[in-house]
Amino acid sequence: MQGWTNLESNDQVSNLLAQSESTPCVIFKHSTTCSISSIAQLRLNDIDTSSSRAKFYYIDLLTFRSVSNHIAEVLNVHHESPQIIIVKNQEATFDASHLDITHEELLEELNR
C-alpha cells in the first residue's frame, strides 16, 4: 500500500506508540488470503497519506502474526482480520473490522 509503513516488529510498534503522542497513527491489519480483507484494502487505497496529519501503518497478519497479537495486547483491542485501528496518545481511540472499514469513516474519525 503506497504511503503506508510496513509493521514487522514489536520495536516498530513501540515507536508507533511513542509517535502517537504527537501524531495520530493508523494501523491496518490485513490477511493477504482473505477476500474481505482485500475489499477493505481496496477501500483504503484512495487515502492520500501524503496530505494527512496521520501516519499510516500496514501489517501482513500471516507473516507477522506475533506482532499483530502484540498490537492487540498493548492497545487492549480484540484481534480482528481485517482491522483498522486509530492510535492517539498511546491508546486505541477507534477500531473497525471487516466490511465496517471505510475510507470515509476512517477520515471522519481522524478529524475528531
Measured distance CA(58)–CA(28) in Å, rounded:
5
List domains and CATH numbers for the chain: 5-110 (3.40.30.10)
Per residue in 77-103, pLDDT (tens digit) is 998 899 999 999 999 999 999 989 988
pLDDT of res. 63: 96
Predicted model pTM: 0.94
Per residue in 5-56, pLDDT (tens digit) is 999 999 999 999 999 999 999 999 999 999 999 999 998 988 888 877 899 9
Instruction: Please give the DSSP secondary-structure letter assigned to residue 60.
Output: E
- The answer to whether the CB of 2 falls within 8 A of the CB of 49 is yes
Measured distance CA(48)–CA(10) in Å, rounded:
26
- The answer to whether the CB of 31 falls within 8 A of the CB of 61 is yes
Q: What φ, ψ does residue 39 adopt, rounded to 5°?
A: -65, -45
